[in-house]
A and B are shown apart, each in its own frame.
Chain A
Amino acid sequence: MTVLLPLAVVVPLVGAALALVVSGSRPVQRAVSLVAVTASVGIAVALLVGVESDGTAAVQVGAWPAPLGITLVADLMASLFLLVSVLTVFFVLVFAIGQGADSRGIFHPCYLVLTAGVSASFLAGDLFNLFVAFEIMLIASYVLITLGATRAQVRSGMSYVVVNLTASTLFVTAVAFVYAATGTLNMADLVGRFAELPDPLRAAIGLVFLVVFGVKAAIFPLFGWLPDSYPTAPTSVTAVFAGLLTKVGVYAIIRTQTVFDLPELGGFVLVVAGLTMVIGVLGAIAQDDMKRILSFHIISQIGYMIMGLGLYSVAGLAGAVFYVVHQIPVKTVLFLVGGLVEHVGGSGALARVGGLLHRVPVVAVLFLLPALSLAGIPPFSGFVAKLALVDAGLSGREWVIVAISLAASILTLVSMTKIWSGLFWGEVTEPVRDGTGSLRSAHLMVAATAGAVVLTLAIAVAAGPLFELSERAAVELLDLSPYVEAVMDP
């Protein structure tokens, strides 16, 4: 099974290389991309099945023993996230092909490099390789976010690049701190050595990493770049960014904070979580364009995942893990629907488009299901995720954050209603600009969106076993001895 770990990174990378070589022919490129992503899905499924039955798997690349070599580790959290991510990547790829977003030869290579970067981030077993994986992912994202090269894209792309480069610089600096303090970067090796450091130093390093990944995950007050840059990119790019990139940031926060084992930061993390939820959702309510509303919701939802970490209990972390699993496809599918709305109506502005329920009822249904899930209405996956967090909050006696999270989900429902009444109800408007007014030429886009909706529903149906897996993942996070054992003495 350990063969699967490097393959999860190398397969999309080889796909990217092939897609570059054949960049003259779009059909061949599409075939290469689809094969590579499908293979990645297969690898991720096999990895999850293997990790579920045999426990954490680790591999030393190049057979250099840990802590010196490059370590790849797959525990339950990493393999769960990996599977949901590559499934989402698959549906967005189909959507992008249907939309013709891949008209530039560089799209497929960058998209596959992004996939490789995301996989590598989940599987990285030491902090420096986590940095490298983040950079692979981000450099591909820099190209994708400015792909159309319009004035607005280049302007917001610049701030995206500058913010991320700044965070990356801080990331390397923080990695240097850890190395100076402990003499190792391998996370399994760190577990024991970090605990020996004086408390203030541990807390300081933990906080620096919280800031680094807080920028990537867009938590309060480091989120300013996100609603500025995401809406301008092409739909399929925004969809995959919205689903994956911030969640990789959340993954890195959970991973590093549990390796550092800093429950004393829990109270601070909860404050940040509450503020992230509230500010994000208030920002969403103030917007009047579908993609902008959804972009602010990304931020608000990150607050919930951080809340699970702040509780620092098995129940809280299980809630956080399940929340990420639910959120990756739900967020992506909402952006895909945003793309369909723009395809039909020519714009995502609530004031300019209306009556889509009559014009394209399919799109209305595809929006409604994930939107209700996002707001946490039973029986959708968002309800299970929020229930788990609220339950964990109650048993941790953190009444304030529970109240805030409930209030924020009511406000989420309000802004989903706003999109619904603005775009789908009301007068049927004529399409503006290049809106087509129908779905006649968008069968593949609709199919991809529907596939992603089915994925979100499947998560709701399988909520029981999935939550059980999340709980086991949370147990592994709080007791890292199986993780350490898998890496240090295989």
Chain B
Amino acid sequence: MSDLGRPLGGDPSGVLDETVRVAVPIVLIASVFLLFAGHNAPGGGFIGGLVAGSAVFLRYISAGATAHGGVTRVPFEVLLGAGVLLSALTGVASLVAGDGFLEAWTFEEDLPVLGTVKFTATLPFDIGVYLVVLGLAVAVVASLGREADEDLAPVVEPDEVER
């Protein structure tokens, strides 16, 4: 095993851990950028969510399943549920407003300080997708990753303890 990475179940490696600490916020900002860019450029909720998910995996590689709090402490059930809820309710909101289900509307206004703000109904829908994909990454780490860590943890032989 190399000294650079953390062997599954092994102790954290200082170099990797510090690199990841720096990388995670940058990755998360990039994911949010992609989320917003997605309206009329490559990106969107799914891609943004995947990039944010990669931050979760980076944390897992450097520090193990228990340390995913470095990215989010929210349980994956809540992330997944909130994401689906947000996307579905976006559709229902247009119904309530008297339009068709999921019919998109645009909000464009000149606001003080912020300048012209343009906002479309696809944004909350996309944020929902983002949360679902992120939740999936957290779920993978929490269920598969934790088990892999436990299975592969170095077994301490009884005679080693005695010594």
List residues of chain A with CB under 8 Å of any chain B CB: 3, 5-7, 10, 13-14, 16-24, 59-63, 105, 109
Give Cα A62 to B125, complex, Å: 12
Report, as a range, how many residues of chain B touch the other chain: 10 to 19
List residues of chain B with CB under 8 Å of any chain A CB: 77-78, 80-85, 88-89, 91-92, 95, 99-104
B84 contacts A17, C-beta separation under 8 Å: yes
User: What's the minimum C-beta distance from B99 to chain A, rounded to whole angstroms?
Assistant: 7
In the A-B complex, the 5 residue pairs with the smallest Cβ-Cβ separation, listed nearest first, are A20-B81, A21-B81, A6-B101, A17-B84, A17-B85
Besides A6-B101, A18-B85, A20-B84, 9 more A-B contacts (Cβ < 8 Å) are A17-B80, A17-B84, A18-B81, A20-B77, A21-B77, A21-B78, A21-B81, A23-B81, A62-B102
B100 contacts A63, C-beta separation under 8 Å: yes
User: What's the minimum C-beta distance from A7 to chain B, rounded to whole angstroms?
Assistant: 8
B81 contacts A61, C-beta separation under 8 Å: no
Give Cα A157 to B91, complex, Å: 34
Picked from A16, A20, A22, A61, the residue with its CB within 8 Å of the CB of B100 is A61
B residues within 8 A CB of A14?
A: 84-85, 88-89, 92
Chain A contact surface mostly: helix
Which of chain A's residues has its CB closest to B104's CB? A62
> Taking each of B78, B91, B101, which has the highest tally of chain A beta carbons within 10 Å of its own beta carbon?
B101
Which of chain A's residues has its CB closest to B100's CB? A63
Give Cα A10 to B102, complex, Å: 11
B85 contacts A61, C-beta separation under 8 Å: no
Give Cα A60 to B103, complex, Å: 9
Do A10 and B99 form a contact, CB below 8 Å, given A20-B84, A21-B82? no
B95 contacts A3, C-beta separation under 8 Å: yes
User: What's the minimum C-beta distance from A12 to chain B, rounded to whole angstroms?
Assistant: 10
Give Cα A147 to B76, complex, Å: 18
Which of chain B's residues has its CB closest to A16's CB? B84
A13 contacts B88, C-beta separation under 8 Å: yes
B99 contacts A63, C-beta separation under 8 Å: yes
B residues within 8 A CB of A19?
A: 81
B101 contacts A10, C-beta separation under 8 Å: yes
B100 contacts A17, C-beta separation under 8 Å: no
